[in-house]
Amino acid sequence: MSEFDIARARAETRGCARVAHLNNAGSSLTPAPVADYLRTYLDEEEMLGGYEVAARRDGDLENFYTATARLLNASSDEIAFIENATRAWDMAFYAIPFEPGDRILTAMAEYSSNMIAYIQRAKATGVTIEIVPNDASGQLDVAALEAMIDDRVKLIAITHVPTGGGLVNPAEEIGRVARKHDILYLLDACQSVGQMPVDVEAIGCDMLSATGRKYLRGPRGTGFLYVRRNRIEMLEPPFLDLFSAELVATDRYVVRSDARKFENWERYFAGQAALGHAIDYALDWDIDAIWDRVKDLGEILRASLAALPGVEVTDEGKVRCGIVTFRKQDETATSIKARLAEHGINVSTSSASGTLPSFQARGIDEVVRASVHYYNTEDEIAALVEVLR
């Protein structure tokens, strides 16, 4: 395993003293500097007033945009603060001007919330939804994607890291196809941002959504949307208010020209400032170093689980991340989660409803999802394995 200051990471993660938290794909343990910052901001709101604190901390609120831009290799005017990843994704998707006959191409392991939105838009606009098959490894088959392209493809939209498995879809290769054919490309990066490098210039996506609570270790109720500058004008937000637009006459308004046109006036200001703080914290650790450690821990956990009788690791893909999914003969995922919780080990479960096409194709109903982060240890992995044994 690569060198990493695990002592510092755990000292700055107070929850490590109480639980073995292997549910980072659900919501990570917040680091002490971020949690303390958020408490201070909320204390100031209590004593001074919300508008007054926002004015006092304007620099911290603006830092969210510059920090996120650094994280993604973007510009700050391409970033919008949104209350969660799903709403960020929705704001981008529902802004696309679809017409009857347009095609949406997506992945087998697409998040079901996104699939619901595709179906709704298909009913309303006459677009069609088509699933790109996987290759032999279980990731999206880029050659098959290329073969499906024609002039009716309006959008390529995929989940970078699916909620119910450890695979990492080939986002950069997909981006090359999208750029070659000048097709809009929407990337759901909810599970990838924070655990691995995500560079929007290298990937070539036009829009990207992410959350604060998972691998970025920020507060719940925070997320963001990236929109490439040359795509901002063509996208019409599904709703506007007095922040995203200005009323200039009784019958006319002017929409903002930056990505903040996707925001609204009222939001979780403390969370926005704290998320910027969390992103700075992650960047201080170095995302490449985080990714190296997460990958190492993920493979240790997979190997340890695979060695247990009756346990099947269900992860797919050529590249696999810190999300590890498995099932155990004669024991349900729900009961395994409960049994681990009795020993102070946090995991989650993923059911077919989360990634329906993928789970149906593989004949899977439910799996246990154990998701590691850089502050986890091999001892915590060994404890999980021992309970299962």
Residue 50 tokens read as 């919300």
Query: What is the model's pLDDT at position 352?
Result: 82
Query: What is the model's pLDDT at position 157?
Result: 98
Using CA atoms, how far residue 119 sits from 92, 95, 99, 113, 294, in Å, is 16, 15, 14, 10, 35
The number of domains in the chain is 2
- Domain boundary, last residue among 238, 254, 284: 284
- Domain boundary, last residue among 267, 284, 301: 284
Query: Per the confidence metrics, is the pTM higher than 0.85?
Result: yes
Q: CATH number of the domain at 136, please.
A: 3.40.640.10
Query: What is the model's pLDDT at position 16?
Result: 98
Residues 232 and 296 in one domain: no
Residues 188 and 101 in one domain: yes
Residues 278 and 314 in one domain: no
For residue 292, being part of any structural domain is answered with: yes
Residues 13 and 148 in one domain: no
Residue 165 phi/psi, 5° resolution? -175, 170
Encoded amino acid at 25, one letter: A
Query: What is the model's pLDDT at position 354?
Result: 84
Q: CATH number of the domain at 310, please.
A: 3.90.1150.10
Residues 42 and 19 in one domain: no
For residue 209, being part of any structural domain is answered with: yes
From CA 53, how far away is CA 222, in angstroms rounded? 18
- Domain boundary, last residue among 241, 265, 284: 284
Residues 241 and 376 in one domain: no
Is residue 237 within 8 A of residue 89, CB to CB? The reply is no
- pLDDT < 70 stretches in the chain: 1-2
For residue 216, being part of any structural domain is answered with: yes
Collapsing DSSP to helix, strand or coil, 351 comes out as strand
Is residue 48 within 8 A of residue 270, CB to CB? The reply is no
Residues 234 and 115 in one domain: yes
For residue 275, being part of any structural domain is answered with: yes
For residue 366, the cross-strand partners are: 351
Burial bucket for residue 363 (CB in 10 Å: 0-12, 13-18, 19+): exposed
Question: Is the Cα torsion angle 280, 284, 289, 293 positive or negative in sign?
Answer: negative
Residue 209 phi/psi, 5° resolution? -120, 145
Encoded amino acid at 283, one letter: L
Q: Using alpha carbons, select from 291, 293, 281 the residue that is nearest to residue 219.
A: 281
For residue 297, being part of any structural domain is answered with: yes
Residues 277 and 330 in one domain: no
Residue 352 tokens read as 């077919």
Residues 309 and 271 in one domain: no
Residues 180 and 268 in one domain: yes
Other beta carbons within 10 angstroms of residue 182's beta carbon come to 6
User: 15 is in which domain, residue-wise?
Assistant: 6-31+286-388
Q: What is the dihedral of CA 150, 153, 158, 164, to 10 degrees?
A: -80
Interacting residues of 292 by C-beta distance below 8 A, sequence separation 6+: 2, 4
What is the per-residue pLDDT across 33-57, written as a single tens digit (0 to 9) for each? 999 999 999 999 999 999 999 999 9
Question: Is the Cα torsion angle 313, 314, 316, 322 positive or negative in sign?
Answer: negative
Residues 92 and 102 in one domain: yes
Residues 214 and 356 in one domain: no
For residue 64, being part of any structural domain is answered with: yes
For residue 1, being part of any structural domain is answered with: no
Burial bucket for residue 254 (CB in 10 Å: 0-12, 13-18, 19+): exposed
For residue 317, being part of any structural domain is answered with: yes
Residue-by-residue DSSP string for 105-134: EEETT--HHHHHHHHHHHHHH--EEEEEPB
For 293, how many CA atoms within 13 A lie in the half-sphere containing its CB?
21
Maximum distance among all Cα pairs of the chain, rounded to whole angstroms: 71
Residue-by-residue DSSP string for 27-57: -PPPPHHHHHHHHHHHHHHHHH-HHHHHHHT
- Alpha helices for the chain (secondary structure H): 6-11, 32-48, 50-56, 58-72, 85-93, 112-125, 142-148, 171-180, 200-203, 229-232, 269-285, 287-306, 333-342, 356-362, 378-388
Collapsing DSSP to helix, strand or coil, 266 comes out as coil
What is the per-residue pLDDT across 147-163, written as a single tens digit (0 to 9) for each? 999 999 999 999 999 99
